[in-house]
Structure formats: C-alpha cells, structure tokens
C-alpha cells in the first residue's frame, strides 16, 4: 500500500482573496460629467467603483462633453472607467415597475448592448433607476442575464445578499445615521469587523452641494488598508460564485477549482491559491 502524506486537518474557503477580512466597493449612478473627478480621485487612492450608465442619455458628439453638459459623451466611457466597472442603469432611466415586461427587457438589453459596444466586455451588473423594483422586474432581469442589481435599501450585512437582484448597500454616501459613512467604516474597521462595506451615490451630489471636499472626507478613509480588498460590484459576485464552486476532496488531500478565477484556500493556517481549472494538491 502506498504511504500517503498526512491530510490537512481543515480546509477553509475564505470569503475574499488572500483571506482579506474586508471588501470595500462603491456604486455611482447616471454617468454624469462629475464622474471624471470621482474616477480621478479613486485612481489616486486605490479605490474601485461601479458606474451605472444610461446609454440613451450619453451624448454622441465624438468628443468629451463640454462645459455645461450633464451626461458624459459615449466616446469617453471606455478610457474614463478603465479599471472600474460599467453597469446597466437602463437606457432612459425609467421607473421599472411602470413598464410592462417587454419594455423592461428592452431597456435592460439595449443598455447592455450599447455599453458593451463601448467597453468591450460583457456588462452583467445593474442598479435600479429610482431604486424602483418588484418581483416581476427581478424575474425579467434574471432572464436578461443580469447577475446583480443594487437597490437604494441599506443593510449592515449586505453581502452575500439572499437575492442578488435585490442587493442592498451599506448605505448612501451622505447617510449620517447612525453616523457618517467614513466614521462608520473607521469604527467597524478598528473593531476588527469583517464583511463588505458598500457605499453608493451620485457624483453630481458633490457639485449640487457645492462640497467636493466631501468626496475626500467620505472615501479617502476607506482607502489604503492592507487587509482590505478593493473590488467592483461584479468582482464580488464573480469571486463568491468561484469560491462556492470549489470542490474539496472528502479526504482533504486535493481541491478542484472549476471556475475561471484563482480561489484562496486556508489549509491548516497556510494560504494556498487554487488555480482555475485544475486540481491542487493539499497534503502537507
């Protein structure tokens, strides 16, 4: 009989890559020109954003939107949001529950197609215009290939959601109950909290409030943490799907990763990245 090396006592699949304890993600709606300042700041601070765009409201002059414009020009989208995520916000920003199923599907699929033409990758996430949805809308989105859709609801434990197409955030960027978002994050982080911290808003809110300092006040304290995963909305869902698909052998000597993403395993306290599409030996 062949002598086998000892099997690990325990093989865990951490929630986030490299066993990071927190994930920070953000979401901004409407694709307005103020997104430029948010993206520039996020790129400096190492934050990631998901930007939900109404493709029918983008201008199409073939040059960046100029002074006085509200929405970006389509020609800006790919370069501006590189390294971030572009997601659906429906073509014309309607109230989804006021539409029949055919119109809902058209608003979603036409937005997907138009945005995919601009960014060159499958667009699979969404945020509800006006936060408006019901179960009927959810079922149409599911048939349209949408992986998740953010609501305007709030939950301290927002991920993974019971229903990905009714996904609450931690809160809106200007929420101050029970305390401002940056204070909430710092208190949670310092106390050893784990999970996802998810802030959403509109970039034009800083302009309307005449308070661009708030961008730094709210978001910079979230940045620069070595034990935080800075992710887009879709990266959270893709990684969650990958970790759930992991197959750990009953004898704990190997693991098979059928996904397209590397998944971190904690093998008796040692972190191992299980490569996509292969069997990884786990014996020590």
Parts of the chain belonging to CATH 3.20.20.370: 21-226
List the one residue out of 157, 125, 138, 139 whose CA is nearest residue 231.
125
pLDDT tens per residue across span 77-131:
999 999 999 999 999 999 999 999 999 999 999 999 999 999 999 999 999 999 9
- Predicted TM-score of the model (pTM): 0.96
Are 170 and 197 in contact by the 8 Å Cβ rule? The answer is yes
Say what angle helices 101-119 and 135-143 make with each other, to 10 degrees.
Answer: 50
Order across the sheet with 279-281: list the strands: 247-248, 254-256, 279-281
Q: What is the DSSP string of 32-55?
A: BTTHHHHHHHHHHHT---EEEE-G
**From CA 254, how far away is CA 236, in angstroms rounded?**
25
Collect all residues with Cβ–Cβ distance below 8 Å to 33 and sequence separation of at least 6. Answer: 65, 69, 70, 71, 72
Asked if residue 143 has pLDDT above 60, the reply is yes
The pLDDT value given to residue 2: 66
What whole-number distance in Å separates Cα of residue 177 and Cα of residue 161?
A: 22
**What's the half-sphere exposure (Cβ side, CA atoms, 13 Å) at 129?**
21
Query: What are 263's two structure tokens?
Result: 């998944």
**The pLDDT value given to residue 133:** 98
Largest Cα–Cα distance of the chain, in whole Å? Answer: 79
Asked whether the predicted pLDDT for residue 34 surpasses 80, the reply is: yes
pLDDT at residue 4, as a whole number: 81
Question: Average pLDDT for residues 168-197, to the nearest whole number?
Answer: 96
- Residue 3's pLDDT is 79
- The per-residue pLDDT for 68 is 83
Q: Is 21-226 a CATH 3.20.20.370 domain?
A: yes
For 151, the enclosing helix (H) or strand (E) is: strand 148-154
pLDDT at residue 284 is higher than 90: no
Give residue 25's pLDDT band: very low, low, confident or very high (50, 70, 90): very high
- Which whole-number Å values give the CA distances from 208 to 31, 59, 92, 139, 162, in the listed order? 15, 21, 22, 35, 35
């Amino acid at each position: 009989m062949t002598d086998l090396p000892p099997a690990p006592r325990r093989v865990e699949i951490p929630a986030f890559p490299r066993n990071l304890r927190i994930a920070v993600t953000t979401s901004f709606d409407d694709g307005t020109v103020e997104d430029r300042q948010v993206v520039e700041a996020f790129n400096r601070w190492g934050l990631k954003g998901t930007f939900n765009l109404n493709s029918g409201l983008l201008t199409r002059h073939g040059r960046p939107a100029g002074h006085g414009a509200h929405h970006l020009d389509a020609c800006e989208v790919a370069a501006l949001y590189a390294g971030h995520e572009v997601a659906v916000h429906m073509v014309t920003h309607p109230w989804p529950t006021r539409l029949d199923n055919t119109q809902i599907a058209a608003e979603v699929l036409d937005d997907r197609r138009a945005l995919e033409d601009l960014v060159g990758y499958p667009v699979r996430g969404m945020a509800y215009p006006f936060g408006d949805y019901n179960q009927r809308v959810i079922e149409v989105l599911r048939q349209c290939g949408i992986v998740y859709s953010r609501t305007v609801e709030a939950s301290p434990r927002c991920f993974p959601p019971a229903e990905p197409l009714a996904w609450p955030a931690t809160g809106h960027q200007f929420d101050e109950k029970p305390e401002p978002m940056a204070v909430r994050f710092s208190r949670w982080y310092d106390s050893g909290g784990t999970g996802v911290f998810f802030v959403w808003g509109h970039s034009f809110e800083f302009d309307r409030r005449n308070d661009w300092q708030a961008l730094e006040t709210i978001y910079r304290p979230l940045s620069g943490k070595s034990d935080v995963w800075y992710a887009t909305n879709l990266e959270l869902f893709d990684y969650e799907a990958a970790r759930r698909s992991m197959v750990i052998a009953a004898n704990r000597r190997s693991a098979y990763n059928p996904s397209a993403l590397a998944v971190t395993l904690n093998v008796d306290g040692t972190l191992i990245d299980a490569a996509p599409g292969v069997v990884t030996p786990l014996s020590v």
